[in-house]
């Protein structure tokens, strides 16, 4: 699984503005060239009873079998097997290093000779630099007669920022290269096929990778422990409870159990931002708006620069009609993260609401430049152009939003108005027909349809 602590599926939840579509696409690795796919493994974790626990991805960095992945792939795993693209498998025998906060693990496979990936440097990464990710989507993992295999996929995108997330003490690489569920621990590579990060958090339009420079200092450590010893020791760490909570919340859809796990973490680490952030999501999923807002406020008390939390809290305020407060939060989010498409789109929507469509344009135009597939930015952009009486631009933006899945009544009414101004009677009837499909009892549409007959 790809762990979603503060993940954008959770972090980037927007009540009125919706989710972004993915920027990149999954391609079978047959399409990829030159990357050494033989060094990228499917990781199969089993519990103490031999039951399947989770899947993840790892990659080999030394011929002796030194493998890098995410720490959360190991949580509660009594056994982990690495399955390579050619069908060969190897058991994880030793744990060399784990960092439970930064969520990485360095493991030792059973004795053999292994193909490797070349490591790059993450210190010099720049915005809009090309990236590619490799991983095994969980939904493509197949078990048949005791044999388990997966398909290795490659995705493509670019960097939109390198900055801290919930924890202000270290940064992530924000990339548009898609991390499907199961990519956890897989490599993020540059154009020269060198590893610059580890896929850690999947989030639809933006995905987060831990920079490889966070891991490299520990690759030559000589001390290690058995996996069994690691699992026993891991029981005492609150971070393990945190990732269990994530599993309950995002994989099993059980927010009550997740809340219990997150509260255990907070009891031991009362200032740990990620636990409060995910706690807010759990309460949101239960429909407890007050507790969700309270936890987002706690997040921002501890980390006022956390752009995703600023945006999420702003979305609550927008929905509640607190437009000025929402605008202030979206402004702060964009200042922290200038290419954060959800904050850009939300700020544009807020400025539209405040009667400032001209100001909204620059934010919304930037949003669709960063993410050309973000449907809500096109919807908001269409509203800006509509208010400015730029009918053709509004029509184009609304139609692009529709093509990407937006189907709001307000959008179709505005297209209706545009086509009516253009004298395009057939298009007018088409929009009325769509409106009545959405709302068959809409009196205005019924009247207009009757008048047009």
Residue range 8-218, CATH number = 2.40.10.120
Residue range 302-452, CATH number = 1.25.40.10
Q: Where in the chain is the domain with CATH 2.40.10.120?
A: 8-218
pLDDT of residue 204: 64
pLDDT of residue 451: 64
Q: Say if residue 32's pLDDT is above 50.
A: no
Distance CA 336, CA 330 (A): 10
What pLDDT digit, counting tens, does each position of 152-178 carry? 999 999 999 999 999 999 999 999 999
Distance CA 6, CA 281 (A): 9
pLDDT of residue 421: 95
Tokens found for residue 178: 């898609």
Element (H, E) at 157: strand 153-164
What pLDDT digit, counting tens, does each position of 383-401 carry? 999 999 999 999 999 999 9
What pLDDT digit, counting tens, does each position of 190-211 carry? 999 999 999 999 876 789 999 9
**Predicted model pTM:** 0.87
Per-residue burial over 25-53, b if 16 or more Cβ lie within 10 Å, else e, is ebeeeeebeebbbbbbbbbbbbeeeeeeb
Show Cβ contacts of residue 23 under 8 Å, excluding neighbours closer than 6 positions.
157, 176, 178, 205, 206, 371, 372, 373
pLDDT of residue 4: 47
Round the average pLDDT of the chain to a whole number and report it: 91
For residues 295 and 262, the answer to whether their CB atoms sit within 8 Å is no
pLDDT of residue 2: 53
pLDDT of residue 15: 31
Q: Say if residue 335's pLDDT is above 70.
A: yes
Q: Say if residue 143's pLDDT is above 80.
A: no
Tokens found for residue 23: 């920027």
Which residue's entry shows tokens 């399947």? 52
The pLDDT of 289-312, averaged and rounded, is 97
Distance CA 284, CA 294 (A): 11
Q: Say if residue 22's pLDDT is above 60.
A: no
Tokens found for residue 207: 């995905």
Query: What percentage of residues in the chain have a pLDDT greater than 70?
Result: 91
Confidence of residue 453 (pLDDT cuts 50, 70, 90): low
Query: What percentage of residues in the chain have a pLDDT greater than 90?
Result: 83
Q: Using DSSP, how many helices (H) and how many strands (E) does the chain show?
A: 15, 16
Q: Where are the beta strands (DSSP E) in 212-363?
A: 225-226
pLDDT of residue 345: 98
What pLDDT digit, counting tens, does each position of 400-450 carry? 999 999 999 999 999 999 999 999 999 999 999 999 999 999 999 999 887
Distance CA 435, CA 419 (A): 14
Q: Where in the chain is the domain with CATH 1.25.40.10?
A: 236-301, 302-452
3-state secondary structure of 178: coil
pLDDT of residue 225: 96
Q: Which CATH class is domain 236-301?
A: mainly alpha
Give the helix ranges, DSSP H, for 168-223: none
Tokens found for residue 359: 């100001």
Q: Say if residue 145's pLDDT is above 70.
A: no
Confidence of residue 142 (pLDDT cuts 50, 70, 90): confident
Q: Which long-range contacts (CB under 8 A, 24 or more apart) does 227-236 make?
A: 227/74, 227/77, 227/78, 227/79, 227/80, 227/92, 227/93, 227/94, 227/95, 228/78, 229/95, 230/74, 230/95, 230/98, 231/74, 231/76, 231/77, 231/78, 234/74, 234/75, 234/76
Q: With CA atoms as reference, report the closest residue to 368 among 387, 391, 385.
A: 385
Show Cβ contacts of residue 334 under 8 Å, excluding neighbours closer than 6 positions.
307, 340, 343, 344, 347, 363
Distance CA 172, CA 104 (A): 13
3-state secondary structure of 172: strand
What pLDDT digit, counting tens, does each position of 86-102 carry? 989 999 999 999 999 99
Length of the chain: 453
Q: Say if residue 123's pLDDT is above 50.
A: yes
The pLDDT of 296-303, averaged and rounded, is 98
Alpha carbon separation from 116 to 63, 153, 213, 319 (Å, rounded): 6, 17, 17, 50
DSSP 8-state code for residue 248: I
Characterize the bridge pairing of strands 27-28 and 40-46: unpaired
């Amino acid at each position: 699984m790809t762990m979603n602590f503060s993940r954008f599926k959770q972090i980037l939840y927007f009540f009125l503005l919706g989710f972004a579509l993915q920027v990149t696409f999954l391609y079978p690795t047959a399409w990829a060239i030159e990357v050494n796919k033989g060094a990228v493994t499917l990781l199969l974790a089993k519990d103490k009873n031999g039951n399947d626990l989770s899947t993840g991805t790892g990659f080999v960095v030394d011929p002796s079998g030194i493998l890098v992945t995410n720490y959360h792939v190991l949580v509660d795993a009594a056994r982990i097997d690495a399955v390579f693209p050619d069908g060969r498998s190897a058991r994880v025998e030793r744990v060399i290093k784990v960092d439970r906060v930064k969520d990485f693990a360095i493991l030792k496979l059973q004795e053999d000779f292994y193909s490797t990936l070349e490591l790059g440097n993450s210190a010099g990464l720049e915005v809009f630099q090309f990236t590619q990710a490799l991983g095994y989507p969980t939904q493509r993992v197949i078990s048949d007669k005791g044999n388990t295999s997966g398909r290795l996929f490659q995705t493509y995108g670019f960097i939109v920022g390198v900055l801290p997330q919930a924890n202000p003490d270290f940064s992530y690489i924000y990339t548009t290269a898609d991390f499907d569920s199961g990519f956890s621990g897989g490599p993020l590579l540059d154009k020269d096929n060198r590893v610059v990060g580890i896929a850690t958090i999947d989030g639809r339009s933006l995905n987060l990778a831990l920079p490889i420079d966070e891991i490299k200092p520990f690759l030559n450590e000589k001390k290690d422990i058995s996996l069994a010893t690691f699992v026993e020791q891991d029981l005492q760490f609150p971070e393990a409870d945190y990732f269990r909570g994530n599993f309950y919340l995002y994989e099993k859809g059980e927010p009550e159990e997740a809340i219990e796990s997150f509260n255990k973490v907070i009891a031991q680490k009362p200032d740990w931002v990620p636990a409060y952030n995910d706690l807010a999501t759990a309460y949101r999923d239960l429909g407890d708006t007050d507790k969700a807002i309270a936890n987002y406020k706690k997040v921002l008390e501890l980390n006022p620069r956390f752009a995703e939390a600023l945006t999420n809290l702003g979305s609550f305020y927008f929905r509640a009609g607190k437009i000025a407060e929402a605008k202030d939060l979206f402004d702060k989010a964009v200042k922290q993260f200038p290419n954060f498409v959800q904050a850009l789109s939300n700020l544009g929507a807020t400025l539209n609401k405040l009667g400032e469509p001209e100001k909204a344009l620059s934010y919304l135009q930037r949003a669709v430049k960063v993410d050309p597939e973000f449907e809500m930015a096109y919807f908001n952009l269409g509203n800006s152009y509509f208010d400015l009486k730029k009918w053709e631009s509004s029509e184009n933006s609304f139609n692009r939003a529709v093509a990407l899945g937006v189907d709001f009544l307000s959008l179709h009414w505005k297209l209706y108005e545009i086509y009516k101004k253009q004298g395009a009677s057939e298009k007018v009837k088409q929009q009325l027909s769509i409106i009545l499909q959405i709302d068959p009892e809409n009196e205005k549409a019924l009247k207009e349809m009757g008048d047009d007959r």
